[in-house]
Structure 1
Amino acid sequence: MARKQVAAVVAVIAALVLGTLLTACASPETGGGVEYGERLDLGVPGDLVETVAGVAGYPACGTETIAHDGTTWYPFEPSNLDEFPTVAALASTGGLGGGLSRGATRIGFPAVVAPGPGDDVGTLTVYEGGFAFWRSDSGDLETWLTDRELEYWWAC
């Protein structure tokens, strides 16, 4: 093989290895960001810890955190929703971001409208293992949450 061909093959292999490493570094599990519409497998919620009414939040875009009792909760869409507690059956299966359940369809990027009555306060159900589920009092917004810090790679 000619020297230029060897150099080209080495360059291609190096690019593939670098691409693989960068992809691994960008995953939420390794501190990277979450892409719009990405579904994550962060494990499965454990036993129910508590249910708290009157928790402020408005996760309409899927990037808004919910703070309660010293914990910051980050919305996410589970890729393994079928393994989650029964409340998951009521969770969004295609709404915007982590939680619109108004039958919205993913077209482009999300846009946030002003909250309607009961949209910005709801019930937080906390589970062992760093998981929670929040549903607005109106019933129009809901999302699964994790206490694992997530960085979202989109903005509304």
Structure 2
Amino acid sequence: MRWLAAVAFTGAVLAGCARSPDGGVEYGETLDLGVPGEVIETVPAVAGYPACGNEPIVYEGTTWYPFEPANLDEFPQIEAMVATGGGLGGGTTRVALPAVVEPGVGDDVGTLTIYEGGLAFWISDSGGLETWLTDQELEYWWQC
């Protein structure tokens, strides 16, 4: 039976969407946490700096955890990214940096859009950083 679990785990890793054996999120791992529902609220001037992809954003007592959606094609297109030129458009995920640099103007504050279903999207005022977020607690297996 132990070999069967190992084969199943190896297959899931090769598929690109396995959770680590201890429940943490590996760097570059994608997660299917559902899809965003209707917009509940859009809030400007929310502090955050998700340069490494493992920095939660806290807003009004809720901690939002960055993640890379496995099903991004089912997510809403984010027009703000197209308008600012800050990314590829269409809800791409955060910018991955080899090391954390000090935030530039507008990098550490942004607009938080909260959706039904415990999902949110944050984009910096500079347009240089963006991330999808979940209110499900995540543990990250990397540090910057």
Q: TM-score, normalised by structure 1?
A: 0.73
1:62-86 alpha-carbon deviations (Å, 9 max, x no partner): 0000000110000011111110012
* Aligned residue among 107, 118, 128 for 1:119: 107
The two structures, once aligned, show a CA RMSD in angstroms of 2.5
Q: Is residue 2:51 matched to residue 1:60?
A: yes
Structure with max Cα Rg: 1
Structure 2-normalised TM-score? 0.79
Per residue, is there more helix in 1 or in 2?
A: 1
* Identical amino acids, percent of aligned pairs: 67
How far 1:17 moved relative to its partner?
Answer: 3.4
Determine whether 1:39 maps to 2:20: no
Extract structure 1 runs of 4+ deviating beyond 3 A: 20-24
| 2:122 maps to which of 131, 134, 142 | 134
Instruction: In structure 2, give the amino acid aligned to 1:136.
Output: S
Q: 1:27 aligns with which of 19, 23, 26?
A: 19
60, 63, 67: which one pairs with 1:69? 60
- Provide structure 1 residue ranges, at least 5 long, that are not aligned to the other structure: 1-13, 94-98
- Evaluate the alpha carbon distance shift between residue 38 and residue 146 of structure 1 in structure 2; reply closer, same or farther with a 3 A threshold: same
Q: How many residues align?
A: 129
- The residue type equivalent to 1:58 in the other structure is Y
Q: 1:123 to 1:31 in 2, by over 3 A?
A: farther
CA distance in 2 between partners of 1:131 and 1:47 (Å): 10
